[in-house]
């Protein structure tokens, strides 16, 4: 089945490598390839014919590790040792998820609120990256087993709303699993590719991708033109999915089965068994009008009509998100050319009906909704392998591009992995009164401080008319064209003063260098976050000192002697704190100084207002 080639340089036989496409899901994960003979994407199944690998990891008491279907029984018998929904934790800090801690039966470490989350299992700590790598490793093994050859390259999909940290975490998980992640692509983009949308270069289309999975709902509006996908908007609910359908069914059964017996109400085994029965019955109702099952030895049943009543409000909530996504994209429903259905829960007939009615269109739902993302990833993998040269390669920026702002911080305008061409603009202002020029320094890299990144170019925007600090509006725009050439332009909007420069961002960086810079950013991520907070606190402190000094010079007569003294003291303490490495201390000193200056600042304001009123009455 795999192609055999000859390496012309060495004369040796070479087996063409297969690049796999992976959907790393919250509930289920799977792997697909483009079949070399049929040229169609296909998912890889195990001996039993199952394509889905449940995203579950069970840690046995004796150190054994079970991934996927084998881990499922332990979800109800050993919930504290069975990890689910790890995707939700990727690239997150404890602070990000603390509101949802009750959602997880396993132990999420909460000591350091700002650093990335870890999970405690016995004596060991695991990061979500490691845990995700176990799932990816399982998929890699499956692919190698089925294809009978080593697999080391992959395309992995992520939700469109994933930020850079989450994408990076996904990439790292791949690396840990022994996979070279050639590209991270958006799930809705993959789903559209699976339906062949966007393969015609002449076509311009606006696509809504409706993805209702096990625990999450995402709606993305994409525009595809010239073979390039652009995400116009995304919306969704990170805690709404098929699991909520199951819960609604359990809640419906609960009173008749359990009655008022309090002891049963907290029995985890009973509720787990009821949830399983609910899921089974729900699935049957996709094709039947009535279904039965067994929960903890008791017979349960449900009609399709009752099921639809139970879930109608949940489906309604997804439509509200769709409305919002359209609004964010500035589009009316009529602007949508295609609606793509993704996720196991879109099998529910009521969901299809409601979505179809909402968009007023027939749906793209011919493909298996829980396979469609992996199929699209396989299509993309095949394009990367160079087997599909007809198709335009969607190129991306390998490293982030940005400019230096106050305190030597990197302000990213074009994030890493952005598809090109790309255009973005952001407004900045001056720091000093009467500042006539502004230095624009362009950097490439992932670190928070520009000194750790690579400088690409620098120029001066001159001719800014004399104005107080904060008044000029300088718009800096970055444009990368299809050839990867970056043009940076700065324009002062009030005066029209303008300057621009052309840069070749990729030039001179080898793959190894890119790799090293990325690795650097991972190993230093924690430090960088701290350093950024410290730098920001210092900049804020300095600003406040400058302002206070100016204020006192102008309004000395307004201050009592005691206020003057206390202000001087607070300024001194703040000044001192700026030399120390403690952002909390700086913040406290800023607060203290603000506290002291508030009363006389208010007095000064009152006086200014009174003055202005007086001025007016004179006219």
What is the closest distance, in whole angstroms, from the C-beta atom of residue 7 to ligand ADP in the complex? 40
Q: Is 211 a catalytic residue?
A: yes
What is the closest distance, in whole angstroms, from the C-beta atom of residue 343 to ligand ADP in the complex? 4
Among 21, 22, 26, 414, binds ligand ADP (CB under 6 A): 26
**Rounded to whole angstroms, how far apart are CA atoms 236 and 218?**
4
Among 199, 286, 500, 506, binds ligand ADP (CB under 6 A): 286
Coil vs helix vs strand at 411 = strand
**Rounded to whole angstroms, how far apart are CA atoms 338 and 362?**
8
Among the listed residues 87, 153, 354, 583, the single catalytic one is 87
| Beta carbons of 156 and 184 less than 8 angstroms apart | yes
Q: Is 205 a catalytic residue?
A: no
Q: Which of residues 75-134 bind Mg ion (CB under 5 A)?
A: none
Among the listed residues 130, 138, 211, 446, the single catalytic one is 211
Among 19, 21, 28, 130, binds ligand ADP (CB under 6 A): 28
Residue (241 or 398) nearer to ligand ADP, CB:
241
Spatial strand order of the sheet with 119-121 comes to 107-108, 119-121, 124-126
Residue 54 in the binding site for ligand ADP (CB under 6 A) = no
Among the listed residues 23, 138, 279, 492, the single catalytic one is 23
Spatial strand order of the sheet with 57-59 comes to 65-67, 57-59, 82-83
**Rounded to whole angstroms, how far apart are CA atoms 199 and 293?**
45
What is the closest distance, in whole angstroms, from the C-beta atom of residue 72 to ligand ADP in the complex? 13
Q: Which of residues 158-217 bind Mg ion (CB under 5 A)?
A: 213
**Rounded to whole angstroms, how far apart are CA atoms 395 and 392?**
9
* Token pair belonging to 353: 């009906």
| Beta carbons of 378 and 33 less than 8 angstroms apart | yes
Residue (234 or 521) nearer to ligand ADP, CB:
234
Coil vs helix vs strand at 575 = helix
Residue (258 or 348) nearer to ligand ADP, CB:
348
Residue (52 or 177) nearer to Mg ion, CB:
52
Residue (240 or 490) nearer to ligand ADP, CB:
240
Which of Mg ion, ligand ADP, none sits in contact with 54, Cβ below 5 to 8 A by type? none
Q: Where are the alpha helices (DSSP H) in 330-393?
A: 349-359, 372-384
**Rounded to whole angstroms, how far apart are CA atoms 208 and 365?**
13
Residue 344 in the binding site for ligand ADP (CB under 6 A) = yes
Q: Is 354 a catalytic residue?
A: no
Residue 25 in the binding site for Mg ion (CB under 5 A) = yes
> Cα–Cα distances in Å, from 406 out to 199, 438, 539, 575?
44, 12, 7, 18
Among 41, 159, 236, 343, binds ligand ADP (CB under 6 A): 343
What is the closest distance, in whole angstroms, from the C-beta atom of residue 373 to Mg ion in the complex? 6
Which residues on adjacent β-strands are paired with residue 180? 153
Which of ligand ADP, Mg ion, none sits in contact with 370, Cβ below 5 to 8 A by type? ligand ADP
Q: Which of residues 208-267 bind ligand ADP (CB under 6 A)?
A: 213-216, 241-243
Q: Which of residues 349-378 bind ligand ADP (CB under 6 A)?
A: 370
Instruction: Give the CA diameter of the chain.
Output: 96
**Rounded to whole angstroms, how far apart are CA atoms 29 and 280?**
20
Which of Mg ion, ligand ADP, none sits in contact with 445, Cβ below 5 to 8 A by type? none
Q: Is 583 a catalytic residue?
A: no
> Cα–Cα distances in Å, from 361 out to 242, 330, 335, 365, 374?
23, 19, 11, 12, 25
Residue (344 or 541) nearer to ligand ADP, CB:
344
* Token pair belonging to 340: 């793509």
Among the listed residues 172, 187, 218, 338, the single catalytic one is 187
* Token pair belonging to 513: 């260098």
Q: Which of residues 209-268 bind Mg ion (CB under 5 A)?
A: 213
What is the closest distance, in whole angstroms, from the C-beta atom of residue 258 to Mg ion in the complex? 32
3-state SS string over 59-104?
A: ECCCCCEEEHHHHHHHHHHCHHHEECCHHHHCCCEHHHHHHHHHHC
Catalytic residues: 23, 87, 187, 211
Residues that bind ligand ADP (CB under 6 A): 25-28, 213-216, 241-243, 279, 282-283, 286, 343-345, 347-348, 370
């Amino acid at each position: 089945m795999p192609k055999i080639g000859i390496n012309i340089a060495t004369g040796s036989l070479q087996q063409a490598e297969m690049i796999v496409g992976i959907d790393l899901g919250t509930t289920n994960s799977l792997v697909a390839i483009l079949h070399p003979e049929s040229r169609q994407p296909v998912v890889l199944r195990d001996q039993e014919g199952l394509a889905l690998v449940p995203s579950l990891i069970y840690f046995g008491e004796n150190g054994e590790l079970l991934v996927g279907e084998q881990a499922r029984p332990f979800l109800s018998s050993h919930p504290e040792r069975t990890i689910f929904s790890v995707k939700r934790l990727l690239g997150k800090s404890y602070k990000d998820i603390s509101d949802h801690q009750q959602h997880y039966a396993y132990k999420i470490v909460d000591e350091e609120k700002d650093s990335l989350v870890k999970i405690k299992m016995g004596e060991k700590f695991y990061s979500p990256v490691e845990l995700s790598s176990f799932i990816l490793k399982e998929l890699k093994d499956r692919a190698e087993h089925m294809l009978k050859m080593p697999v080391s390259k992959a395309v992995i999909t992520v939700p469109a709303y994933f930020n850079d940290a989450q994408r990076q975490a996904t990439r790292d998980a791949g690396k840990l699993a022994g996979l070279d992640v050639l590209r991270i692509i958006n799930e809705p983009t993959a789903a559209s590719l699976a339906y062949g949308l966007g393969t015609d270069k002449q076509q311009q289309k606006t696509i809504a991708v409706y993805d209702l999975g096990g625990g999450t709902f995402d709606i993305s509006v994409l525009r595809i033109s010239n073979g390039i996908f652009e995400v116009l908007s995304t919306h969704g609910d990170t805690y709404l999915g098929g699991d909520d359908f199951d819960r609604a069914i359990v809640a419906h059964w609960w009173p008749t089965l359990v009655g008022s017996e309090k002891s049963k109400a907290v029995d985890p085994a009973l509720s787990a068994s009821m949830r399983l029965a609910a899921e089974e019955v729900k699935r049957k109702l996709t094709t039947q009008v009535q279904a039965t099952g067994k929960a903890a030895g008791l017979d349960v049943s449900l009609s399709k009509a009752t099921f639809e009543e139970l879930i109608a409000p949940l489906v309604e909530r997804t439509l509200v998100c769709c409305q919002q996504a359209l609004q964010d994209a500035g589009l009316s429903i009529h602007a949508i050319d295609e609606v793509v259905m993704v996720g196991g829960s879109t099998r529910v007939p009521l969901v299809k009906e409601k979505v179809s009615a909402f968009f007023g269109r027939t749906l793209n739902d011919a493909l298996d909704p829980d396979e469609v993302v992996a199929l699209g990833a396989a299509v993309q993998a095949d394009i990367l392998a160079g087997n599909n040269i007809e198709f335009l390669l969607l190129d991306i920026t390998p490293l982030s591009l940005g400019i230096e702002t106050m305190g030597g911080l990197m302000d990213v305008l074009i994030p890493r992995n952005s598809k090109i061409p790309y255009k973005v603009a952001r407004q900045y202002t001056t720091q000093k009164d009467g500042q006539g020029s502004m230095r624009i320094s362009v950097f490439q890299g992932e670190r928070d401080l520009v000194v750790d990144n690579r400088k690409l170019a620098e120029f001066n925007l001159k001719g800014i008319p004399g104005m107080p600090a904060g008044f000029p509006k300088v718009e800096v725009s970055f444009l990368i064209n299809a050839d990867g050439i970056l043009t940076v332009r700065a324009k002062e909007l009030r005066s029209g003063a303008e300057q621009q420069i052309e840069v070749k961002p990729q030039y001179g960086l080898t793959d190894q260098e890119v790799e090293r810079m990325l690795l650097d950013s991972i190993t230093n991520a924690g430090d960088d976050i701290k350093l950024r907070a410290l730098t920001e606190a210092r900049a804020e402190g300095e600003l406040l000192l400058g302002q206070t000094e100016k204020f006192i010079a102008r309004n000395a007569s307004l201050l009592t002697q005691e206020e003057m003294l206390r202000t001087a003291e607070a300024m001194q303490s703040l000044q001192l704190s700026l030399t120390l490495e403690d952002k909390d201390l700086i913040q406290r000193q800023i607060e203290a100084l603000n506290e002291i200056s508030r009363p006389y600042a208010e007095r000064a304001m009152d006086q200014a207002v009174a003055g202005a009123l007086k001025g007016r009455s004179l006219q």
